[in-house]
Structure 1
Amino acid sequence: MSKVPEWFLEQLRQRVDIVEVISDYVQLRRSGRSFSGLCPFHNERSPSFSVSADRQMYHCFGCGAGGTVIGFIMDIESVTFVEAVILLAQRAGLQLPDGVGDAEAARPNTKHQRYREAHELTAKLYSYILMNTDAGVQALTYLEKRGISRKTMVEFRLGLAPKAGDTVVTFLRKRGFQDAELVACGLAVEMGTRTLDRFRGRLMIPILDKKGEVIAFGGRTMEQDVKPKYLNSPENDLFHKSRLLYNYHIARKTIRRDRTALLLEGYMDVISLSQAGIQQGVATLGTSLTEEQAKLLKSDCDKVIISYDGDEAGRKAAVRAIDILVEAGLEPLILRIPDGLDPDEYVQTHGGESFKRLLGRQTLSVVQFLLDDLRQRANLVSSVGRTEYVRQALQLLAERATPVEQEYELRNLSQEFNLSVETLKEELRTFAKQNIRRSQHRDRALSSERIQPLEKAVSKASVGLLQAVLFDKEACMYVMDKGVTELAEPVQTALLARLYAWRLSNPDASSAAFVDELDDESLGKVASSLFFGEIPELTHDLLDDYVRTVELHHLEAEYRDLLRQWIDTEATGDETQSREIKLQVERLQNQIATLKRPRGS
């Protein structure tokens, strides 16, 4: 964003009508003072997508997408901030400021940009060698035998690294790149006194970032006896494989629309399925799924179907991925592919339509998959092995299964191992007994205190404080003077901190400018929602009420935590610690009572 002057961005926001722009992509209908329609970023039947002409902002109350007209064009067209500004300026007939839109000025000669340019040139060279030279014939034949069409090769920018040792290095030297740069960005290696190409004699698969720019490569050997089968670019300042997913820049639109991603293991899986019309496939880059990759998926979907290779290694990788996805707040499902095939092999053998039917018929829940995994590793021939399998299965059901899943799987175990359902249920209760008793004890204690949660009130107060800081400079200073640093939810607290810093640096800037400056998608979703609904008159009395409600919410939460500690401590018989916690509980009770008193009493 720093490439575009703020005065021009403000002019652009005022000149371009967000309703007109979005109407090119979404059928909008007037709904009160705003417009509504079906969200283009996720699949829905009832309109939850709202556009405000007054505030020049959009927000989806279904998936949370939102922002200014610039942000909309970035998301819908998968372009950069500067590219979105250029498109809108052309639409509005505005002349771009000097330097904006010029390739050299808009993309400064930084180290990262040099790396990107080197990779882009190399990708074009690899593609040319594959598609237009005699050296590429063998690789073309190899790809065609695997069912990959020329059209797909072009779409995924596939190429060939020649066997000659310094083709890429020589090519890039002539274009002004130094050997040290090529080594640093992973395109070359030093061998004694020589600098040689890192990739030689391999089918090349460009790895693109979220903006669609080449930043690394995966190189696949076409010979049986060459190891490793895949060779990836090394990590560097530009390329961090734990933070990227292959094909994410293309698959993202479909993932957002369906709220479901298909997680694959290899590049060729993604390419084959895409050619077969399955567009939501992404792959990890030669490593197990990471927390960063799971968070990336969470920003665009709710479910992830894991479709790893059907061999033992693929099953183990799926087990590891499940907990990471659950921790990120995603619902994992697992696709079971018959005969131990990987997705690419299955599509080659049975076709894309058959794979689509698999997605509908062979997708397992986490519990079903983990039970199946237990079975694969169990020794069901011996009585000891069967007993151990049943015990592990019951433990799994106690930890992970819903009551419906428990009932269904208990009946299956009963039939298979000739055990009564009641016996199995009794064993299941044994695994869960300690947790159940503790949970029931706490619930009774908390219920006896009749603690009334403040969810609705504190949510309204937190939103009100964020609106005050975002829309009113004087109200912002008042809230800051009150020392408010924490709101109801962590994402709101993070947004408040960003708003404080922004307001202090930009006291007179427009609220839309703040939304455009946000580089965190989760914060952007919350920020765009603040523009919708009525914004009351931000008097000091109202702000004081908001502050008091938020403070009361945090004291109530602290009180509940201390109450749980007190219950646990009493159960252990530690009277000294119990008395100390009791004093803290009483102190909090007094503070809560004081805050609940009517103002002025």
Structure 2
Amino acid sequence: MIPDSTITEIKNRIDIEEVVGDFVSLKRKGQNLWACCPFHDEKTPSFSISPVKGFYKCFGCGKGGDSIDFVMEAEKLNYLEALKYLAKKYGIEIKEEELSDDELKEQSERESLYIVLNFAKDYFVKSLSSQEGKSIGHSYYKERDITDDIMQKFELGYTLDKWDGLLTAAKEAGHSLDLLEKAGLVIPKDDRHYDRFRGRVVFPVHNVSGRVVAFGARALKKDDKPKYINSPETPVYHKSQILYGLFQGKQAIRQQENCYLVEGYTDVTRLHQIGIENVVASSGTSLTTDQVQLVGRFSKQLTVLFDGDTAGLQASLRGVDIILANGLDVKVVMFPQGHDPDSYAQELGANEFKVFLEDKAQDFIHFRLNLLAEEAGNDPLKKAAAIKDVVGSISQMPDQVKRTVYLQEASNILQIEERVLIGEMNKVLRQTSKSRATSAEYVPPPKEDVAPQQKTDATSGAYDLDNLITFQERESIRLLLQYGFSELDEGKRLHQYLFSEFEDIVFKDPVHAQIIQEFKDLLSTNKEIDAQHFIDNGSPEVRKLVIDITHERHHVSSLWKDKFKIRIPSETEASKLEHSAFTNIMRLKQRVVRKLIEENLDKLKEAQTVEEESEYQQMHHELKLTEKEIADQLGNVILK
């Protein structure tokens, strides 16, 4: 267990801009920072970070919180693990208090997997310094001209040519056989287990925050098959969501606003060695949507480096469509026949290779158009196929302006009327739209400051009232948290006025009611209470609500203002603050009373006896009088 003093130190040292900036590329707009949300697929940034308040909030998927919440969500960690992650980032030593047996059992499997994978990485690095490692593993790296600095940077290693080298060392260190198997480090066979990786050089695979999640191991003997053995999928490793080298290259990718995509581990290490750090590898697998979105957090430009192998080039080019579909700009570089980035960088040297990349980078659509036009020649069937091919790629772009520009260029290069291309693209878009309509898509929840859609059935009035009551309750919470200890004109604190009015109000929303009650209870401690208290100590539901309310200046959409006559005056002066609080409380009471009137009228319609009817009529009369009193104070006209 981490002592409270250490937790406080961690929270005081945290810089949310630094924490979130490790995962996404941030752009400053005014006081806040913005990015595309790392937690859902989006093309337009709706993810906002307030460095002053230390909060983040996505207005697309609704997720929000502080730095600890972000790390928990981004890394899929629990609270304790997130604290350890941040402590390591900021160089804070953690001296844990002794855990009880129950707490020890609750140590997460994920954290245990990270620990054993890190142990394996250290074992492989250490094995590289053994006699066998030096003569075989180290020799391989030197033959490939991989420097010691690069070996240390990527934590490259070697695994001894033994059936149980890692297994024995891990068990001696106290790691369980079950955990080693779950981490993909050992393989069971005939009631025994043996090492997955033996007699190979090892490339640790890191996630975006630098934790080892898997390994790739290359054979050194010609008769060893396959050439590469990779870790299997585990609870902490999903190969479709990982890019080799992203951890080491993310800062350069952000700074260069471009990411080079290569195929293999040694392509990445070679480019780093010559000073090109903005590079990642798909590790020989087809690029996935998750991987593209991962790159998109740091750059909207992806340059694909294709090996000089023309066989299968068209299939590789079609794989680029997934990049276009995610809104990234794509360039391509073709290498000479028989070369890949690793071999060609060794042949040219650092300076000439960098010039080569700059000179040979072509816009992907232009490259594709010219390649298809050359292949089609005067063959009408090939030309028709080329048109469908390139239109299919252009239609993937979410930006309509880009689609239009590229269609015009396609018309010029392929020498075909633009209207034909537009017709073909519309056909593709219609087909895509139909397929999406039948598939599960991400649908962002409605923003809380947007009015509900008008309904045509009899429930629309009740629906609007329920939402209005919720809105006014939220506004009461906001006023209490942001201005509760502000002084009004007569010297009274705002919280005193609010709680005197809350006495005849029952808050419908349980989270709202919980905050009101806790705030009231805390007043007896004579401490000033603010939003941060609830963020630090509240339940997940309370934390989310408070962060939503306090993340930025409250505003109301014009639709709400026009439809529901909501008025939020400026609260810079005591008199205006008091007026705002008064108006909100009276609006809340007015809508609660209107809700009671509607419920009472429903009961009146269903009255079974004269006595019941008389009782409900009397209640209706009293409620209408109350409604009129409130309206008089607000200056409203009440409909009969």
1:347 to 345, 349, 354: 345
The 1:296/1:4 distance shift into structure 2, 3 A limit, reads farther
**Structure 1 CA distance for aligned equivalents of residues 587 and 330 of structure 2:** 42
**Structure 2 CA distance for aligned equivalents of residues 20 and 328 of structure 1:** 25
Letter in 1 for 2:275: G
SS at match of 1:338: coil
- 1:472: which partner in 2? 478
Give yes or no for contact 1:469–1:479 (8 Å, CA) kept in 2: no
Letter in 1 for 2:282: T
The 1:408/1:127 distance shift into structure 2, 3 A limit, reads same
The 1:413/1:467 distance shift into structure 2, 3 A limit, reads farther
Give yes or no for contact 1:129–1:159 (8 Å, CA) kept in 2: yes
**Structure 2 CA distance for aligned equivalents of residues 138 and 207 of structure 1:** 22
1:326 to 310, 324, 327: 324
SS at match of 1:189: strand
Q: 1:214 and 2:223 equivalent? A: no
SS at match of 1:131: coil
Give yes or no for contact 1:66–1:529 (8 Å, CA) kept in 2: no
Moved more, 66-75 or 145-154: 66-75
**Structure 1 CA distance for aligned equivalents of residues 251 and 320 of structure 2:** 24
Give yes or no for contact 1:212–1:249 (8 Å, CA) kept in 2: yes
- C-alpha deviation, 1:473, in angstroms: 8.4
Q: Equivalent residues in 2 for 1:577-596 (5 A)? A: none
- 2:84: which partner in 1? 82
- 2:301: which partner in 1? 303
- C-alpha deviation, 1:156, in angstroms: 0.9
Q: 1:405 and 2:411 equivalent? A: no
**Structure 1 CA distance for aligned equivalents of residues 297 and 133 of structure 2:** 43
- C-alpha deviation, 1:219, in angstroms: 0.6
> Higher Cα Rg: structure 1 or 2?
2
- C-alpha deviation, 1:148, in angstroms: 0.9
Deviations 1:191-241 (A, max 9, x none): 324321111121111112233222221011123443222110111223221
Deviations 1:490-539 (A, max 9, x none): xxxxxxxxx99997999889655787899x9xx99x96996455776575
Identity of aligned residues (%): 23
**Structure 1 CA distance for aligned equivalents of residues 270 and 96 of structure 2:** 44
Give yes or no for contact 1:166–1:196 (8 Å, CA) kept in 2: yes
- 2:121: which partner in 1? 123
Give yes or no for contact 1:308–1:314 (8 Å, CA) kept in 2: no
**Structure 2 CA distance for aligned equivalents of residues 373 and 517 of structure 1:** 61
Deviations 1:425-481 (A, max 9, x none): 4644554687999xxxxxxxxxxxxxxxxx9x959xx9x979958973879999995
- C-alpha deviation, 1:66, in angstroms: 10
- 2:165: which partner in 1? 167
**Structure 2 CA distance for aligned equivalents of residues 341 and 248 of structure 1:** 23
Instruction: Count matched residues.
Output: 472
**Structure 2 CA distance for aligned equivalents of residues 106 and 263 of structure 1:** 42
Is there any run of 5+ residues in structure 1 with no aligned partner, and where? 23-30, 40-48, 415-422, 438-454, 484-498, 547-597
- C-alpha deviation, 1:274, in angstroms: 1.4
Deviations 1:310-366 (A, max 9, x none): 435774564354333333333333333333532222212223333333443323333
1:153 to 151, 154, 158: 151
- C-alpha deviation, 1:392, in angstroms: 4.0
Q: 1:199 and 2:200 equivalent? A: no
Give yes or no for contact 2:187–2:195 (8 Å, CA) kept in 1: yes
- C-alpha deviation, 1:307, in angstroms: 2.4
**Structure 2 CA distance for aligned equivalents of residues 249 and 501 of structure 1:** 44
Deviations 1:215-273 (A, max 9, x none): 22101112344322211011122322122222222222223334433222211111111
The 1:405/1:150 distance shift into structure 2, 3 A limit, reads same
- C-alpha deviation, 1:410, in angstroms: 3.6
Give yes or no for contact 1:371–1:393 (8 Å, CA) kept in 2: no
Give yes or no for contact 1:74–1:84 (8 Å, CA) kept in 2: no
**Structure 2 CA distance for aligned equivalents of residues 317 and 6 of structure 1:** 56
**Structure 1 CA distance for aligned equivalents of residues 307 and 267 of structure 2:** 9
1:362 to 356, 360, 363: 360
The 1:341/1:88 distance shift into structure 2, 3 A limit, reads closer
- 1:245: which partner in 2? 243
Give yes or no for contact 2:14–2:86 (8 Å, CA) kept in 1: no
Letter in 2 for 1:405: Y
- C-alpha deviation, 1:158, in angstroms: 1.0
**Structure 1 CA distance for aligned equivalents of residues 554 and 303 of structure 2:** 40
- 2:439: which partner in 1? none
- C-alpha deviation, 1:183, in angstroms: 2.4
The 1:317/1:147 distance shift into structure 2, 3 A limit, reads farther
Give yes or no for contact 2:201–2:219 (8 Å, CA) kept in 1: yes
- C-alpha deviation, 1:186, in angstroms: 1.2
- 1:189: which partner in 2? 187
**Structure 1 CA distance for aligned equivalents of residues 228 and 371 of structure 2:** 27
- C-alpha deviation, 1:154, in angstroms: 1.5
Is there any run of 5+ residues in structure 2 with no aligned partner, and where? 20-27, 36-47, 74-80, 397-401, 431-446, 452-466, 483-501, 523-528, 556-567, 572-579, 589-635
Letter in 2 for 1:120: N
Give yes or no for contact 2:250–2:278 (8 Å, CA) kept in 1: yes
**Structure 2 CA distance for aligned equivalents of residues 291 and 502 of structure 1:** 41
The 1:231/1:312 distance shift into structure 2, 3 A limit, reads farther
**Structure 1 CA distance for aligned equivalents of residues 129 and 513 of structure 2:** 52
Give yes or no for contact 2:2–2:96 (8 Å, CA) kept in 1: no
Q: 1:281 and 2:282 equivalent? A: no
Q: TM-score, normalised by structure 1?
A: 0.60
Give yes or no for contact 1:246–1:285 (8 Å, CA) kept in 2: yes
- 2:266: which partner in 1? 268
**Structure 2 CA distance for aligned equivalents of residues 480 and 135 of structure 1:** 69
Letter in 2 for 1:216: A
- C-alpha deviation, 1:108, in angstroms: 7.1
**Structure 2 CA distance for aligned equivalents of residues 502 and 299 of structure 1:** 37
Q: TM-score, normalised by structure 2?
A: 0.57
The 1:150/1:374 distance shift into structure 2, 3 A limit, reads same
CA RMSD across the alignment? 5.8
